[in-house]
Structure 1
Amino acid sequence: MKKPQMVKGLLTGILIVHAPAYAAEKEGESVFSPLTIMDNTLDEKKNVGSSEESYSRPGAYSSRTLNKNLQSLDASLRSMAGTYTQIDPLQGAISVNIRGMNGLGRVNTMVDGVTQTYFGMAPANYHGGSNTAAGVPLDPNFLASVDVTRGSSAGSQGVNALAGSANMRTIGIDDILKEGRQTGLLSRFSVGDNGLGRTGMVAVAGKTETFDNGGAVGGMVGISGTRTYATYKNGGGRSSKDFIGEDNKYLTQTPHSELYKLNLNLDQYNKLELAGRNYTNTFTRRDITSDDYYLRYNYAPLNELVELNVLASTSRGNQEYKPKAMYNFNNSSTTNKSNAIDINNTSRFKMADDLYTTFQVGGKLMDTRYSRSFVQSNETDRNAFAPAGKQKISSLYTGLTLNKDIYELDLNLNYTRSQVEGKKPACAANEKCFPQGEAMLNLDDNAFNPSATFSAQVTPWLQPFVSWSRSSRAPNVQEVFFANEGGISMNPFLKPEKAETVEAGFNINKTGLLLEQDSFHMKALAYQSRIKDYITSESFMLCYNGQLCNDYYNSFSGFNANVYLNTTSPVTNNGYEIEAGYDAGFVYANLSWSKQHTDQPTSIASTVYSFAYSDLSDLPSYYATLDVGGRLFNEKLTLGSLFKFTGKSKRLSTEGIESDTNTVPKESMPNIPTVIDLYSTWQMTDEVLLRFSVQNVTNRDYADALNRMNQSLDYAKEGSSINTTARGRTYIFGGEIQF
């Protein structure tokens, strides 16, 4: 049975089954809440989801509180259903993967609601080339939680987001201050062996008492530093020096970060927040800086038709390369700048008897520019070093939520226009391209992206839902202006990717399942996505007639253009996702499980030795995380264990491009064993919380799935099963001090 038919069947089942179930509940005088009001003011804690909330929200949505058990940010994201990360030890940034999609536009990665546009380019030792990736350079010490939405195109977070969005929230004033306090301090620290290094963060905050008009003033400042070493031992006792090679000496990093926030509540209706985040690091022969600033305004008078929100932001990332960092390039640097503004208003009202309505309308503008500076030994336009250009995205979006009785219908629509502009150098006389001479390319595209989610609270504990969405993402600067063979490598006809996704699933929220005070939560769903005009790259020769072709015997030697283009046949992704949790106070268990399949092609640009711009992003056939533990001594001591299961995973074939099909085959990685982590937390006093963890406690020798060092042909040696493996048994001690 096809997935759309499954969705229709489940929807019909909901309509048929709910009537007797609901009637039975009415006999017991159960009452269903027809409307849930969310407070979207500038209170940091109210404006973010929680793990419990994700189980009551229809659709593919997950939330995690971070910094709980000394897990890395990569591990925390990988513990969420349908969510993964691209690990690149050369980047020092986090790259979120949703359902096998990652990169600029395929996943809208945000920090405090601000879309991130940093594009890292790390020099690699081999061939003087570089590894590149879209990611977010940030300090996990400052993070409080992360929310992930998969497949939906709703609201501003769905603008130019093909597979979904991830929003990481940094700590705020109320995370630092204890209840009833007006000043406070929060400190986090950890130290680990086996190259994990040490990290520390201190943040202080204060706020005034509430003024007579309902206003108040508060502020916070935090500073954080980390030192991480690249040298470690894997489970087999080998040193990373053996398999990372010369790059190993450039992988020790000492990032420093600052975080500032100022809250100005002018009165009970007007709230203003100013925030800044700075990040600096020297890593892989480059100096990295990343700065984000935003202004958030909320106006919420005692009027159900008005709740105005404004978010204006500016971001800048810079990479300065050390002398001789890259062969043939000197005085090199790259810069990305992004300015954005998002304005929306939410109205809540009653349309008819028992029909409650929430209506949102808004718009978002983004202007992102990528520039580069370098001195090249051999002057030529034929290089793919940091493509330069700009992208403007403008969008209007609306959302309508209808609640009646036990039913909820959520309808969303966004209109997005994208403009990508940049310089195309002239093609040589023997090369046929369009336009032939030097020109400024301007790719102008627009898309309408609707979505709908229907749910029914058929019993107090069961909520089935179905959803359908259409999403899109425009070509980015790195794809359009990739130029390893100059202007003839560029594609002025590249079109946006368009995805159509259907989902069907249910939420379960049950208290008193086995014991009077216990709770059980579960979200399970199936999905299918069909992506048209999927963007990938192919390899072309230059035939004697001047056209690009794949005829090796009728082409000029030494010419090999990697061109981004749209696939002619759709790409399909489908899978299943489950998240569940049981908590009885003294004992708990949480499980996430994902299984997926995709037929997306591999980009040829993943294999080039210089400035590769795409990664293999196929998720393992399945992956799961089981977290079990117990609480002792009035829940002051927690003892737990994490079991991480990973199915079959792939990497790029070490044999490179297959000339007959002009593709890069994928080959299986060695089986990844079950990895077990132990952890404990002890609330020693009201002010001191201590943590201890043993990661990879059984000292298994394995390679992480989607580790770029095992995908790149620079590192994955022909005939070798794997190259880079993960850390062996590692001990970590840390904690928090708050007063």
Structure 2
Amino acid sequence: MLHRGGGLTNTEILEFDSLEISGSQLSNEEKVFTHAGAVSSREGINNSTQSLDDIIRETPGAYTQVDPSQGGVSVNIRGMTGLGRVNTMIDGVPQTFFGTSEEQGRYHGGGRVSGTSAFGAMVDQNLLVGVDIERGTFSGANGGNALMGSANLRTIGVKDIVSKNNIFGVMAKYSYGTNSLGPSYMGAVAGKYDFDLGYVGLMYAYSGRKLSQGYKIGEDETTIVPSDPNDPNSSIYAFNPQSLTQKPVNQLAKLELAYKTHSSTLQYRRYDNNLAGRKLIGNNYQINYRYNPNDILDINLALARNEASQHYNENVKIMSTPVGNMKGITYNTATMFNLGNTITSNLSQNLDLSTTFGVNFMSNSYSKSLDWDQSYSSNDGSTDMPGYFQYGFAPDGKQNIKTLYLDNAFSSNFWDFSLNLNYVFAELSTIRQGVCQDFNAYCSPKEAGAFKKNFNNFNISSMLAAKIHTLFTPFVSYSRTYRIPNVQEMFFSGTFNYSDRNFQDLNTGLRPELANTYQIGFNSFTQGLLHEDDSFGFKAVIITAI
């Protein structure tokens, strides 16, 4: 059974049930082979020469959607990606940023290639120590509005920089490669003071890199051959590498405190980038607290706020409209609160029970600021803003998601059984600027003004494992999960009237997505198979989602 714990740094990591195996202490990557189900863990991301995309793609059943115009990482599980379909988190906090890039490169069908829009986590891999991926099943707050699973990116902490029994530490990394690879760099400093039954630590890290699409291809040609050297947008290719060259900068600061049964972490993370026609800014604030005096009380509290914005450059066009000239800015603000407690008990001589229950609340809003009074020329030469652009670009709206969760893990000498449940209450709301047209059967009510729609769903995730042998532990699982529509889906259907801004045709009849996921497989793990210092792990899983 998966539990959510904190350790002294209180970051959201996967904690596995204890397993008595002689030999050295197991790493997180080894613990995966002692736990039933499609879970994976990768460590040492900040020390790897591979990209974060490559590391995730090496994980069975996981992939990444690489969009060079977005700058963030978007995790794909079993063909599903995006907010809610995969709960992508940083230190246990869901990432809700929705980026929209400018139109790119060559002209096609009378206009330039359209920009893209996607969800992503804005963080540099130099600040990450690991990633935990759970496919098909869920546990705790991670299951709130998650359809196919979760991926949690873990950032470095004080103890990653300051080695044991020391009070000060420095971490540095630099890499550079030919053909537009790098440079990439990171520097971190930390101090830690140990006292009886606790410690206090402080760290700061700064990272940056250069990413470019202007690399050489066959016959020593580059990916850009402009037809007009004075016009960077005149590329004969589908994108402009100059616009897609980025130099993201990340900062991370943490204060860690631990004393007896109390531990807490305060952190601040900053992201700055300029990519695909806009400046990206992210500010993230987070507090974690844990109180664990006994088996009855293991309280975990988390409070986080993410603030992200896109500031569009002057000449940027989206949907063939110069949003940059209108001083376009989009905002995404998300606040998360989570409170849970874990109780462990011995029901009989051969039966243990671990129960985790709690509540999670997330408020996520999207808005924009555009100077509508500024005159400009649209495609048809008019100076009146088309209605479809006013309502279509960066839809405004808010979603509130409340999740009540209950995890139960039974364990004996011969079998393990987990039953995780949650109930999700969700609300989507917006202020509609126009009315829906009469022929649109998918929009109700049709009047302009405040609009609100409520959802509620019950989700279940179960797993049964038989402890036949350490080299053969078969398991089966079943999960039923829902995912409500997000703001962009509900309030931007694409069915707009192109001439009258008083019409806003939306699809307000969208229903939650549903997945029934089945797993069957087995684990194998042992130490000292061929030599006393070796370890062997193997996991085979078949997953079907309907």
Fold match by TM threshold 0.5 = yes
Counterparts in 2 of 1:75 and 1:36: CA distance versus 1, 3 Å = closer
The answer to whether structure 1 residue 72 and structure 2 residue 51 are counterparts is yes
The residue type paired with residue 335 of structure 1 is Y
Report the more deviating stretch, 115-124 or 64-73.
64-73
Aligned with residue 40 of structure 2, among 56, 62, 73:
62
Separation of aligned partners in 2, 1:207 and 1:318 = 34
In the alignment, is the contact (CA less than 8 A) between 2:476 and 2:518 conserved in 1?
yes
Separation of aligned partners in 1, 2:437 and 2:118 = 34
Aligned to 1:346: 342
Counterparts in 2 of 1:38 and 1:294: CA distance versus 1, 3 Å = closer
Aligned to 1:415: 423
For residues 354-365 of structure 1, the aligned pairs below 5 Å read 354-365=350-361
Separation of aligned partners in 2, 1:442 and 1:44 = 36
Unaligned runs of 5+ in 1: 1-34, 531-739
Report the more deviating stretch, 439-448 or 499-508.
439-448
Separation of aligned partners in 1, 2:121 and 2:161 = 24
The residue type paired with residue 241 of structure 2 is N
Alpha-carbon distance, 1:511 to partner: 3.1
In the alignment, is the contact (CA less than 8 A) between 2:10 and 2:290 conserved in 1?
no
Q: When the two structures are aligned, how many residues end up with a matched partner?
A: 492
The residue type paired with residue 395 of structure 1 is T
In the alignment, is the contact (CA less than 8 A) between 2:3 and 2:140 conserved in 1?
no
The C-alpha deviation readout for 1:140-174, integer Å capped at 9, x for no partner, is: 11010000000113211111100110000000001
Alpha-carbon distance, 1:216 to partner: 2.4
Alpha-carbon distance, 1:43 to partner: 4.0
Aligned with residue 30 of structure 2, among 52, 56, 60:
52
Aligned to 1:298: 290
Secondary structure, aligned partner of 1:387: coil
The answer to whether structure 1 residue 450 and structure 2 residue 460 are counterparts is yes
The answer to whether structure 1 residue 519 and structure 2 residue 525 are counterparts is no
Aligned to 2:123: 138
The answer to whether structure 1 residue 204 and structure 2 residue 189 are counterparts is yes
Secondary structure, aligned partner of 2:388: coil
The answer to whether structure 1 residue 320 and structure 2 residue 311 are counterparts is yes
Alpha-carbon distance, 1:40 to partner: 3.8
Aligned to 2:395: 387
Separation of aligned partners in 2, 1:107 and 1:208 = 39
Alpha-carbon distance, 1:37 to partner: 9.5
Separation of aligned partners in 1, 2:479 and 2:300 = 25
In the alignment, is the contact (CA less than 8 A) between 2:187 and 2:206 conserved in 1?
yes
Report the more deviating stretch, 256-265 or 508-517.
508-517
Separation of aligned partners in 2, 1:429 and 1:527 = 43
The residue type paired with residue 218 of structure 1 is G
Counterparts in 2 of 1:438 and 1:185: CA distance versus 1, 3 Å = same
Separation of aligned partners in 1, 2:329 and 2:539 = 46
In the alignment, is the contact (CA less than 8 A) between 1:270 and 1:300 conserved in 2?
yes
The answer to whether structure 1 residue 41 and structure 2 residue 7 are counterparts is yes
Separation of aligned partners in 1, 2:252 and 2:4 = 27
Separation of aligned partners in 1, 2:509 and 2:124 = 39
Counterparts in 2 of 1:516 and 1:271: CA distance versus 1, 3 Å = closer
In the alignment, is the contact (CA less than 8 A) between 2:13 and 2:154 conserved in 1?
no
Separation of aligned partners in 2, 1:172 and 1:444 = 39
In the alignment, is the contact (CA less than 8 A) between 2:493 and 2:507 conserved in 1?
no
Counterparts in 2 of 1:245 and 1:436: CA distance versus 1, 3 Å = closer
Secondary structure, aligned partner of 1:263: strand
RMSD of the alignment, in Å?
2.1
Separation of aligned partners in 2, 1:336 and 1:470 = 30
Aligned to 2:62: 83
Counterparts in 2 of 1:230 and 1:37: CA distance versus 1, 3 Å = closer
TM-score of the superposed pair, with normalisation by structure 1: 0.64
Separation of aligned partners in 2, 1:204 and 1:477 = 40
In the alignment, is the contact (CA less than 8 A) between 1:424 and 1:490 conserved in 2?
no
Aligned with residue 205 of structure 2, among 218, 222, 238:
222
Counterparts in 2 of 1:344 and 1:46: CA distance versus 1, 3 Å = closer
Aligned to 2:369: 373
The residue type paired with residue 513 of structure 2 is E
The answer to whether structure 1 residue 165 and structure 2 residue 150 are counterparts is yes
Aligned to 1:152: 137
The residue type paired with residue 140 of structure 2 is G
The residue type paired with residue 447 of structure 1 is N
The answer to whether structure 1 residue 501 and structure 2 residue 517 are counterparts is yes
Aligned to 1:263: 256
Secondary structure, aligned partner of 1:55: helix
Alpha-carbon distance, 1:463 to partner: 1.2
Secondary structure, aligned partner of 1:249: coil
Counterparts in 2 of 1:453 and 1:36: CA distance versus 1, 3 Å = closer
Alpha-carbon distance, 1:461 to partner: 2.4
In the alignment, is the contact (CA less than 8 A) between 1:415 and 1:446 conserved in 2?
yes
In the alignment, is the contact (CA less than 8 A) between 1:336 and 1:369 conserved in 2?
yes
For residues 395-474 of structure 1, the aligned pairs below 5 Å read 395-427=403-435, 431-432=439-440, 433-474=443-484
The residue type paired with residue 523 of structure 2 is N
Separation of aligned partners in 2, 1:516 and 1:258 = 42
Secondary structure, aligned partner of 1:156: helix
In the alignment, is the contact (CA less than 8 A) between 2:145 and 2:424 conserved in 1?
yes
Alpha-carbon distance, 1:472 to partner: 1.1
Separation of aligned partners in 1, 2:542 and 2:36 = 13
The residue type paired with residue 198 of structure 1 is P
Alpha-carbon distance, 1:237 to partner: 4.0
The answer to whether structure 1 residue 115 and structure 2 residue 115 are counterparts is no
Separation of aligned partners in 2, 1:431 and 1:439 = 19
Alpha-carbon distance, 1:426 to partner: 2.9
The C-alpha deviation readout for 1:101-143, integer Å capped at 9, x for no partner, is: 0001000000000110000111122546421111112111101
The answer to whether structure 1 residue 309 and structure 2 residue 300 are counterparts is yes
In the alignment, is the contact (CA less than 8 A) between 1:161 and 1:471 conserved in 2?
yes
In the alignment, is the contact (CA less than 8 A) between 2:328 and 2:371 conserved in 1?
yes
The residue type paired with residue 328 of structure 1 is P
Percent pairwise identity: 35
The residue type paired with residue 312 of structure 1 is L
The residue type paired with residue 485 of structure 2 is P
In the alignment, is the contact (CA less than 8 A) between 2:10 and 2:264 conserved in 1?
no
Report the more deviating stretch, 411-420 or 215-224.
215-224
Separation of aligned partners in 2, 1:171 and 1:149 = 21
In the alignment, is the contact (CA less than 8 A) between 1:310 and 1:342 conserved in 2?
yes
Alpha-carbon distance, 1:188 to partner: 1.2
The residue type paired with residue 388 of structure 1 is D
Alpha-carbon distance, 1:380 to partner: 4.0
Unaligned runs of 5+ in 2: 16-27, 226-235, 377-383, 498-502
The answer to whether structure 1 residue 92 and structure 2 residue 71 are counterparts is yes
Report the more deviating stretch, 276-285 or 503-512.
503-512
Aligned to 1:492: 508
For residues 580-591 of structure 1, the aligned pairs below 5 Å read none
Secondary structure, aligned partner of 2:370: strand
In the alignment, is the contact (CA less than 8 A) between 1:142 and 1:170 conserved in 2?
yes
In the alignment, is the contact (CA less than 8 A) between 1:295 and 1:312 conserved in 2?
yes
The residue type paired with residue 444 of structure 1 is N
Separation of aligned partners in 2, 1:236 and 1:145 = 39
Separation of aligned partners in 1, 2:436 and 2:151 = 44
For residues 535-550 of structure 1, the aligned pairs below 5 Å read none
Counterparts in 2 of 1:446 and 1:477: CA distance versus 1, 3 Å = same
Separation of aligned partners in 2, 1:36 and 1:61 = 9
The C-alpha deviation readout for 1:568-588, integer Å capped at 9, x for no partner, is: xxxxxxxxxxxxxxxxxxxxx
Separation of aligned partners in 2, 1:292 and 1:345 = 25
